[in-house]
């Protein structure tokens, strides 16, 4: 086994690329990120580890813009993310230059995934240790999309997905509770999903909403706190309703 | 100077080039320029050697129902007419046309190449490329060959999601968006007819007649234009060839010969 996990370009006898799988492990250790697609918006939420007192929290934005109409959140190695994001931003502009039109979300996802794949098939390099959630609006049809890529270079579109720590539990929650939502409801759903694995509080979550008209908007801490309070209230009400005796005995 | 030879590749190279993955954006493959002491005059000579005067007349204009594209069909080599039946309107794909002016080989090759790129774009992105995008692709390629003697003066006409589109692209690297263009040695004459007769609200028949007449007038006055006046129409469902009339016949159509009254009639002399 040990012989097959050194160089990236070597398959193991049972068809594994160990380096890629180890990269996926790195992703599993990264902070949780969730994305939910609504009918008129897309929401990204990322777990924020408590910032050190002296750290300027504005310099550690985890949800970034790739273009006016495309945003990205990721889980895994943040330094790798920086490199990937820079390449993607350049590609977005390059597309605008060569074809005089903004690129679609699918195009840039395909580019990022292609880049991640290239690093699984070259000598002397290691794969990018991150999975990305890419959201945006199609410039032609105006419909919202959510895509996910992973270190192996595969990508697919999702209605809602999570990556990073405890992503399985978040995904389970989303599968049980997903329905077509819009506006504030989508934001609430994303935050509810994140709260399954993150300590509640505006300071532990970073949330951003992308709309067709206004692009990406990062939610303020106060806003997030307000929504969290709403969600807690709803949960409490649901608990109370369950415990209350039935109306007719 | 790095050349954009992506148009000449038929497949991506399988071997990764040295620093390809480790660093910068991968550059397109390039080749060395020829060694010469005085590169500027070498350039000038090269251009002069291949500089045809774009002996032709092509025109295109947008009107309310779409785009009308028309061209003559004469190819000339100096004073020698090498062909009267050249196809100067090139079908890039079922909804886009390109016109040929300048070097025939250059135009044909790069238009076909553009067709390939458009199809690849369609396959990769699951949507047709816009006329804007297609003309930009061609302009980028021609710009990277700037100064190397390509001679292309083309109009890309098509119908995409945003409606009718018309762009002028040339081998100097220029790219213009517009509603009326005429390219070639006969273009001044064609512009005269086209500009004075143009109305946005023409019907398809009126527009095709205007296009045909403009080409005819150009072939009448310009020695390097002639042959057949072809007229194509590009509408929401794609392009359609409307007519291809010999300009000689068109001349008599526009200028019918009225038989003159006879003063002295010649009668056969009776056999002796």
Contacts of B16 in chain A (CB under 8 A): 122
- Please tell me if residue B15 touches chain A, with a CB cutoff of 8 Å: no
- Please, are residues B170 and B53 in contact by the beta-carbon 8 Å criterion? no
| Range of weakest confidence among A164-173, A200-209, B241-250 | A200-209
Is the per-residue pLDDT at B53 higher than 70? no
Q: Give the pLDDT score at B19.
A: 45
Q: Is A100 on the interface with B (CB under 8 A)?
A: yes
Give the per-residue pLDDT at B54. 66
> Which residues of chain A are within 8 Å of residue B25 when distances are taken between CB atoms?
87, 90, 94
What mean pLDDT, rounded, does chain A reach? 89
Question: Which ipTM value was assigned to this complex?
Answer: 0.74
Helix (H, G, I), strand (E, B) or coil at A133: strand
Q: Which residues of A touch B129 (CB under 8 A)?
A: 99
Residue A178 forms part of a structural domain: yes
Nearest to B21 among A99, A100, A125 (CB): A125
Q: Hey, is A217 helix, strand or coil? A: strand
Residue A236 domain-assigned (yes or no): no
A33-37, A119-123, B256-260 — most confident range? A33-37
Inter-chain contact A107–B161, Cβ cutoff 8 Å?
no
In a domain, A237, yes or no: no
In a domain, A243, yes or no: no
Whether residue A244 lies inside any domain: the answer is no
pTM higher than 0.80, yes or no? no
What per-residue string of b and e applies to A188-212 under the rule 16 or more CB within 10 Å gives b? bbbbbbbbbbbeeebebbbbbbbbb
Over residues A32-39, the mean pLDDT reads 95
Q: Does A96 touch chain B (CB under 8 A)?
A: no
| Secondary structure (DSSP) of chain B | ----GGGT-SS--SSPPTTTTTSSPPPPP--PPPP-S-HHHHHHHHHHHH-------EEEEEETTEEEEEE---EEETTEEEES----EEEEETTEEEE--B-HHHHHHHHHHHHHHHHHHHHHHSSPPPHHHHHHHHHHHHHHTTTTT--BEEEEEEEETTEEEEEEEETTS-EEE-SEEEESTTHHHHHHHHHHH--TT--HHHHHHHHHHHHHHHHHH-TT--SEEEEEEEETTEEEEEEEEEHHHHHHHHS--PPPPPSS---PPPP-
CATH number of the domain at A74, please: 3.60.20.10
List of chain A residues whose C-beta atoms are within 8 Å of the C-beta of residue B124: 110
In a domain, A155, yes or no: yes
Instruction: Tell me which residues of B are annotated as active site.
Output: 56
More confident: B50 or B119: B119
**Predicted confidence band of residue B24 (pLDDT cuts 50, 70, 90):** very low
Q: Which residue has the tokens 């007649």?
A: B209
CA-closest candidate to residue B104, choices B137, B58, B59, B62: B58
CA distance A97 to chain B (A): 8
Q: Flag whether A239 is in a domain.
A: no
Give the mean pLDDT of A215-231: 90
pLDDT digits (tens, 9 = 90+) for B56-90: 899 999 999 999 999 999 988 778 888 899 999 98
Mean pLDDT of B25-44: 70
Give the model confidence (pLDDT) of B114-139 as tens digits: 999 999 999 998 888 999 999 999 99
CA–CA min distance B133, chain A (Å): 4
Structure tokens that stand for B70 in this block: 């028309």
Distance from CA of A151 to the nearest CA of B (A): 15
**Is residue A80 one of the residues assigned to a domain?**
yes
Delineate the domains of chain B, giving CATH numbers in brackets.
Answer: 58-253 (3.60.20.10)
Note whether B136 contacts A99, CB cutoff 8 Å.
yes
Q: How many domains does chain A have?
A: 1
Min CA distance, B78 vs chain A (Å)? 37
Domain of A91, in residue numbers: 16-48+55-226
Is the Cβ of B140 closer than 8 Å to some Cβ of chain A?
A: yes
């Amino acid at each position: 086994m040990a012989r097959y996990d050194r160089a990236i370009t070597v398959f193991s006898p049972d068809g594994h690329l160990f380096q890629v799988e180890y990269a996926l492990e790195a992703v599993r250790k990264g902070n949780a990120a969730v994305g939910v697609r609504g009918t008129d918006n897309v929401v990204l939420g990322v777990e924020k580890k408590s910032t050190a007192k002296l750290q300027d929290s504005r310099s550690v934005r985890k949800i970034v813009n790739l273009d006016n109409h495309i945003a990205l959140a990721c889980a895994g190695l943040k330094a790798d993310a920086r490199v990937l994001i820079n390449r993607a931003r350049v590609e977005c502009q390059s597309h605008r230059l060569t074809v005089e039109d903004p690129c679609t979300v699918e195009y840039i996802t395909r580019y990022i995934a292609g880049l991640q794949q290239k690093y699984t098939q070259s000598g002397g390099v290691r794969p990018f240790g991150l999975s990305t959630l890419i959201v945006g609006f199609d410039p032609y049809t105006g419909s919202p999309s959510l895509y996910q890529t992973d270190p192996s270079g595969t990508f697919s579109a999702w209605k809602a997905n999570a990556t990073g720590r405890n992503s399985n539990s978040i995904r389970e929650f989303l599968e049980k509770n997903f329905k077509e939502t819009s506006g504030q409801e989508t934001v609430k759903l994303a935050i509810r999903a994140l709260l399954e694995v993150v300590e509640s509080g505006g300071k532990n979550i970073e949330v951003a909403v992308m709309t067709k008209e206004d692009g990406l908007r990062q939610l303020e801490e106060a806003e997030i706190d307000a929504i969290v309070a709403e969600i807690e209230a709803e949960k409490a009400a649901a608990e109370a309703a369950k415990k209350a005796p039935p109306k007719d005995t | 100077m790095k050349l954009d030879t992506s148009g000449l590749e038929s497949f991506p190279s399988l071997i990764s080039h040295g620093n390809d993955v480790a660093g910068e954006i991968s550059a397109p493959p390039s080749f060395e320029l020829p060694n010469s002491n005085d590169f500027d005059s070498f350039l000038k000579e090269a251009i002069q050697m291949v500089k045809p005067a774009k002996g032709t007349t092509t025109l295109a204009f947008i009107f309310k129902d779409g785009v009308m594209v028309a061209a003559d069909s004469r190819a000339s080599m100096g004073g020698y007419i090498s062909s009267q039946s050249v196809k100067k309107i090139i079908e890039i794909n079922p909804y886009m046309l390109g016109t040929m002016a300048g070097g025939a080989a250059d135009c044909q090759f790069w238009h076909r190449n553009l067709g390939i790129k458009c199809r690849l774009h369609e396959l990769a992105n699951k949507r047709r490329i816009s006329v804007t995008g297609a003309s930009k692709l061609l302009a980028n390629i021609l710009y990277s060959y700037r100064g190397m003697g390509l001679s292309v003066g083309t109009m890309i006409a098509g119908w995409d999601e945003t409606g009718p589109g018309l762009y002028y692209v040339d081998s100097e690297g220029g790219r213009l968006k517009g509603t009326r263009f005429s390219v070639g040695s006969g273009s001044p004459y064609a512009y005269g007819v086209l500009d004075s007769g143009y109305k946005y609200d023409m019907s398809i028949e009126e527009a095709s007649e205007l296009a045909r007449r403009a080409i005819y007038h150009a072939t009448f006055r310009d020695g390097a234009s002639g042959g057949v006046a072809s007229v194509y129409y590009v509408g929401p469902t794609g392009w359609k060839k409307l007519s291809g009339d010999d300009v000689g016949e068109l001349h008599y159509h526009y200028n019918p010969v009225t038989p003159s009254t006879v003063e002295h009639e010649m009668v056969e002399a009776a056999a002796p």
